[in-house]
Amino acid sequence: MASSKTINHDQISMNVMDVIYNRRAVRDYLPKKIDQDLIHILLNAAIQAPTAMHEEPWSFVIIQNKDLLNRLSESAKHLVLAETKNSEPQQAKQVIDLVKPADFNVFYNAGTLITIYSKFPGSFVAADCWLAAENLMLTAYANGLGTCVIGFAVSALNTPEWKNELGIPAEMTAMVPIIVGQPAGKTPLSPRKPPEILTWK
């Protein structure tokens, strides 16, 4: 889904500090897809992120097919439940209580999933991909959209079965699955603890 579209940055007038301080994970979405032009805006913002040695190790997979998202959600739920066997009991119970209900969808019924994949291993590849993810999420918020990183989906996306279905080369790794969509309501701001400064000399 390559694009040479020119982005009009003047259309995005929200103050950068407002975006940073007000973006929150959204877990309730209206059932509508994002159009391709807006997805290109998000991707072009993502790739402006810092990248070690200018390697740009990221690739992107966009899923908007509802049936595919629902099947991927079920696969993710099964894997997450299996993985709880090795978790601390209290943590396992929290995950099971959240994931086990039949009507729970790990993508919260959002219409778009954008997953950032690393193209190769490396010491700073994960950091690069997460920096790209933050750019994408901040840009989404500036455009009136909600986002949420779905860690539950990582294991499923990295199985041979899903890599094969999505046409992902075996050597690539799903790093950051992000749902994107129109929020169904307002997400309250959650307080943050003050920065913990260990040393200041």
Has residue 19 been placed in a domain? no
State how far the Cα of 56 lies from the Cα of 125, in Å rounded to an integer: 8
State how far the Cα of 128 lies from the Cα of 50, in Å rounded to an integer: 7
Has residue 168 been placed in a domain? yes
H/E element, 30: none
Q: Is the pTM of this model over 0.85?
A: yes
58-115 pLDDT per residue, tens: 999 999 999 999 999 999 999 999 998 888 888 889 999 999 899 999 999 999 999 9
Indicate which CATH number applies to the domain containing 163.
Answer: 3.40.109.10
At residue 32, the pLDDT reads 87
| Number of domains into which the chain is organized | 1
The single-letter code of the amino acid at 142 is A
How far apart are the two ends of the chain, measured CA to CA in Å?
A: 48
State how far the Cα of 114 lies from the Cα of 176, in Å rounded to an integer: 8
State how far the Cα of 132 lies from the Cα of 55, in Å rounded to an integer: 13
